[in-house]
Chain A
Amino acid sequence: AQRVTQPEKLLSVFKGAPVELKCNYSYSGSPELFWYVQYSRQRLQLLLRHISRESIKGFTADLNKGETSFHLKKPFAQEEDSAMYYCALRTGANNLFFGTGTRLTVIP
C-alpha cells in the first residue's frame, strides 16, 4: 500500500531563512511525486513535480529513492510563501494520494 508522510503539521521560519518541508513516501512501484500548495483563499495548485526537475518560486525538491524522500526546499523564505503544502504520490492507477500537509508560516 502507498503512504505519504509529512511529519510536521506546522512549520514557522523567519523571512530570509532557509526552509525545508519534509516528505517521505512508501510505494512498491516507481513513484511519481508532486508538491501542491494552497495559499490563503486560493485553490489547491501544483507547485512542482519531480519528473520536471524544475525550480518554481525558488523551491526545489529532489527525489531520493534510497531514503524514500521528496523534501521541499527553498534557500530564502519569503512572506508570500506562507501557505499549506501537500506532498502527493501518484500511482499507476491514476490516483493521487496526499500527505497530511504542512502549514508554513514565514515570520516577517
Chain B
Amino acid sequence: DTEVTQTPKHLVMGMTNKKSLKCEQHMGHRAMYWYKQKAKKPPELMFVYSYEKLSINESVPSRFSPECPNSSLLNLHLHALQPEDSALYLCASSQGIGTDEKLFFGSGTQLSVL
C-alpha cells in the first residue's frame, strides 16, 4: 500500500460543530503532516508529527487540534471553526525527517464551514 488515505473527502460543518479529519498510511513512514490549501493558493504547512510527536506547529489557532494516535494515523480535530477556515486540508507523510525526503500526499478533505 503506497497511498495516504484521507477521510472524509468532503465535509460541511457549522461553526458550533465538532468534527475530525482522518489520515492513514501503511508505508511505515515516521513523519506525517497537515497542510491547508485555499482555492488557487499553494499548500501551507500547519503541523508536523515526527515519530508520533508534534515537532512543528505553524502558529495554528487552537480550534485546530492534531492528534497522532500511532505511527499510521493522524487526526485533525476541528471545533468552533470560522467560515474562513473553509479549504482543502491535505495530509502527507514521509519516510523520515531528512531534508531530501519525498512527501506522499493524500487527496485531501474539502471542508466547508457555514
Residues of A that sit less than 8 Å from B by CB: 32, 34, 36, 43-46, 49, 51, 86, 90-101
Chain B proximity of A11: nearest CB distance (Å): 15
Can you spell out 10 A-B residue pairs with CB atoms less than 8 angstroms apart? A36-B103, A43-B106, A86-B42, A90-B101, A94-B55, A94-B56, A95-B48, A95-B56, A96-B103, A100-B42
Residues in A neighbouring B106, C-beta threshold 8 A: 43
Asked whether, in the complex, the Cβ of A43 is within 8 Å of the Cβ of B105, the reply is yes
3 smallest beta-carbon distances between A and B, as pairs: A98-B42, A32-B99, A44-B105
- Assembly CA distance A98 to B101 (angstroms): 15
B43, B48, B90 — most chain A CB neighbours (10 Å): B43
Asked whether, in the complex, the Cβ of B100 is within 8 Å of the Cβ of A90, the reply is yes
Asked whether, in the complex, the Cβ of B105 is within 8 Å of the Cβ of A90, the reply is no
A91-B99, A94-B56, A95-B58 given; 10 more Cβ-contact pairs under 8 Å = A32-B99, A44-B43, A45-B104, A49-B100, A51-B100, A90-B100, A94-B55, A95-B45, A96-B33, A101-B42
